[in-house]
Structure 1
Amino acid sequence: MSNSQYVGTPIVFLSARTSIESKLEGLSLGAVDYITKPFDFRELLARIQIHLDKNEEKNRILEDSMNFKQRANTDFLTGLYNRRYIDERLKNEFNIDNRTTSSLLMLDLDHFKRINDTYGHDQGDFVLKSVARLIKQSVRDSDFVGRFGGEEFIVVMPGATRITAHSVAERIRLTIENERLWIDGKRESITISIGISTFIAEEPNYRTSEEWIQDADRALYTAKNEGRNRVV
């Protein structure tokens, strides 16, 4: 068995050494209790159970805390990262000392209002969840994907040049266009417009993460104006 299997397991010392120095040494090494010989077996079991119960409660609290943090960072509908988390992550990515050339995709579903108006918001939600899944399937393992709001999504691509970003964006666009979702018993062709902005590490072209996002937004606006269902 590897030592990693015992991480977090409470340790109880059982020893014939009764001096205070020995007890302090055992506790300083990470033991949660120190029992000296001779001992009552019932007392030993009771103490072990107490520490196991405490450890279980501590792990439950830690798990609850991690689950709460994950929920706070997640869009409830799509399961993607939410706007708040993306904003924080982008600022962190942008402010690290060893920044590398990276790219950003802003994606917006074309004519999504027509889906909601024609089929209702439940079907609209189905489309959003389906598109979120298709985007996740199309990006690299190192990329992170978020829902930026409404029918707008964002993909942050650490280390990606514009050429790489354009290739991934085209893959996303084609995957969504070719999916033809079943909506209320009908096959519907869904399309998406995508704007790209690339931060160039050698010649920094954005001072803040906000400028980076704004540039991707402008590219997305151009994609919409040029007829939608395209990458700019």
Structure 2
Amino acid sequence: MDFESLLSKYEAKACVVSVDFYEDETYGNIRILAGNKAHCDEMEMEQGRPFIPGSPYEACFPQNRNFEDYCFRCTRTKKPLHAYVELYTMGLWLNMFLIPIESDKPNTGYCIYVYDVSPKVDSAAMVDLSGDVASEVLKACVKLRSSNDIKKTIQEVIEDIRSLCDSEHCCILLTDPDTRTCDILGDALSKNTNLLPMSTYLEGFYEITETWAATLGGSTCIIIKDRHDMDLLHQQNPVWADSLEGAMIKTIVLFPLRFDNKVLGYMWAINFNAENTIKIKKTLELTTYFLASEIANHLLLKKLEIMSSIDSLTGIKNRNMMNNRVDLIVSGKERIPDAVLFIDLNGLKRVNDDQGHNSGDKMLRTAAKILQEVLHDGEVFRAGGDEFMAMIPKITEAEQQKRIEQVQDAAKANNIHFSIGSCYGGKDVRKAMHTADERMYADKNAYYAAHPEEKYR
């Protein structure tokens, strides 16, 4: 067959791909039989040597199971295919078209592979989808952009994806490499499934997710659509394959949720309708692109919320959170606590001056830990500097005094000292705070009068 004449009509990079078929409906060798001038120039520029016709495809392109599957499907079904995917390991986007051509061999199929790569995403190529795929992606995007409750919306989207894939289980799982933990953002099960919810497997599951990067191998997704794929997975990732089969999973499509070159988590559909693999892949490929962006925004807002409410040094609630809590109590939205305490850490200035601020910071963290442990049924805030405030909602006056003694005993065991003032049973939270603050300063004055070496103030 005169492939060179056929390819000479293409100005874009193009080559002819051959796929060998087996009787069990799997494929064997995939080769690049010929290439046009643009393809040959690209190969020589990238690899520093001339293109060799008939080479295994891995000699021209990165080895990729999804690419192999596309070539197999195109040549076997005699239907053209299009995909637009991110080559995230190379920082490129690939726009590819596969067009079947007539074969002169009974167990070999041919297709023309036309492709282009660029460093920036092309929105026009991204939305060049079939109507049903575009409709599903648009529906997900509208839901994501029109809701203020991200977790509720994600749950709705994951239910829609489960229905689209005709799968038994869909899930969005966030991963945190710092804590080596996973968090379920969305989880949907079909009504008649025997599969268990993801929460059943959550403990220690981060170790499984660590194996997925190698299994992906630069691909945009992992697709296990039949027994043949599962057998290959057993060779490549036996631990995960065993866990899948142990959980009665026969098929799975798994996508990483990437944003700004960082994996935020993963989305998958289990026991899906394998007849719709291409449609599912195209839909989820684009949906996960937008999902990752929304999830990244959600995580950023969550981080900012934490930063605005948590003291970065001690890890306890900060003054901003304290003021917000007081406002809620004053407005009547929350009840006034039985006990209000102001606690000052004595001697911090001396430690900072004599031992350095690292020692002073360690002292503050120890103080905060003591207060949280002893006043475990209340809220502890760092009001500022060396001063803390605590509210205990339900406690007797005798128990309050006992807790104060426990705080001082724990402080003494750690070679630190608190000045503490309290107000019990106040009807006005601001007056209770003022009273507790005055009593704390009285206790503080008495301490520094007895210990002038501590350099008060």
Identity of paired residues, percent? 22
Q: Helix, strand or coil for the counterpart of 2:312? A: coil
- The residue number in structure 2 matching 1:183 is none
Q: Which residue of 2 aligns with 1:11?
A: 160
2:417 aligned to 191, 215, 218, which one? Answer: 191
1:163 partnered with 2:395: no
Residue 210 of structure 1, CA deviation: 3.0
Q: Aligned-pair distance for 1:110?
A: 1.8
1:50-107: CA deviations, max 9, x gaps? 2233223322221221111001111121111111111111221343256255211111
Instruction: Please give the alpha-carbon distance, in whole angstroms, between the structure 2 residues aligned to 1:177 and 1:145.
Output: 19
Q: Retained in 1: the 8 A contact 2:344–2:420? A: yes
Which runs of no fewer than 5 residues in structure 1 stay unpaired? 16-38, 180-188
Counting matched residue pairs gives 185
**CA offsets 1:180-228 (integer angstroms, 9 cap, x no match):** xxxxxxxxx211111101244xxx3x2xx43222111011022123337
- Judge conservation of contact 1:10–1:51 (CA < 8 Å) in 2: no
Runs of 4+ in structure 1 deviating by more than 3 angstroms, as ranges, are 12-15, 225-228
State the shift of 1:177 in Å. Answer: 0.7
The equivalent position to 1:134 in structure 2, one of 346, 370, 373, is 370
Is the aligned partner of 1:50 residue 2:286?
Answer: yes
* Contact 2:339/2:425 (8 A) holds in 1: yes
Gaps of 5+ in 2: 1-151, 166-274, 449-457
Contact 2:337-2:392 at 8 Å conserved across structures: no
User: What is the CA–CA distance in structure 2 between the aligned matches of 1:107 and 1:113, rounded to whole Å?
Assistant: 16
Paired residues of 1:73 and 1:84 also in contact (CA < 8 A): yes
Give the distance between the partners of 1:136 and 1:40, measured in 2 at CA: 54
Q: Which letter maps to 1:192?
A: F
Question: Secondary structure in 2 aligned to 1:146?
Answer: strand
Larger radius of gyration: 2
Report the more deviating stretch, 131-140 or 158-167: 158-167
1:153 and 2:388 are equivalent in the alignment: yes
Which gives a bigger RCO, structure 1 or 2 (Cα 8 Å, sep 6+)? 1
Alignment of 1:85-96 (within 5 A): 85-96=321-332
TM-score (norm 1): 0.70
Superposition CA RMSD, Å: 2.6
- Are residue 225 (structure 1) and residue 374 (structure 2) matched? no
1:93-108, aligned counterparts within 5 Å?
93-96=329-332, 99=335, 101-108=337-344
In the alignment, is the contact (CA less than 8 A) between 1:105 and 1:169 conserved in 2?
no
SS at match of 2:323: helix
Contact 1:106/1:217 (<8 A) preserved: yes
Amino acid at match of 2:373: Q
> Residue 75 of structure 1: SS of its match in structure 2?
coil
* SS class of match (2:321): helix
Quote the Cα distance in structure 2 between the aligned partners of 1:82 and 1:211: 20
Whether contact under 8 Å (1:80, 1:146) holds in the other structure is yes
Q: Which has the higher helix share?
A: 1
**C-alpha distance in 2 between matches for 1:148 and 1:14:** 52
In the alignment, structure 1 residue 178 sits paired with structure 2 residue 413: yes
Cα distance in 1 between the residues matched to 2:339 and 2:447: 23
Q: In structure 1, what is the Cα distance between the partners aligned to 2:385 and 2:334?
A: 33
Matches within 5 A, 1:116-135: 116-135=352-371
User: In 2, distance between residues paired with 1:10 and 1:63?
Assistant: 21
Which has more strand, going by share of residues? Answer: 2
2:328–2:334 CA contact under 8 A, matched in 1: no
> Against the structure 1 CA distance between its residues 170 and 94, is the aligned structure 2 distance closer, same or farther, given a 3 Å change threshold?
farther
Query: TM-score, structure 2 length as denominator?
Result: 0.37
- Opposite residue 169 of structure 1, the aligned amino acid is I
Which residue number in structure 2 is paired with residue 64 of structure 1?
Answer: 300
Distance in 1 (alpha carbons) for counterparts of 2:395 and 2:349? 32
CA distance in 1 between counterparts of 2:308 and 2:332 reads 24
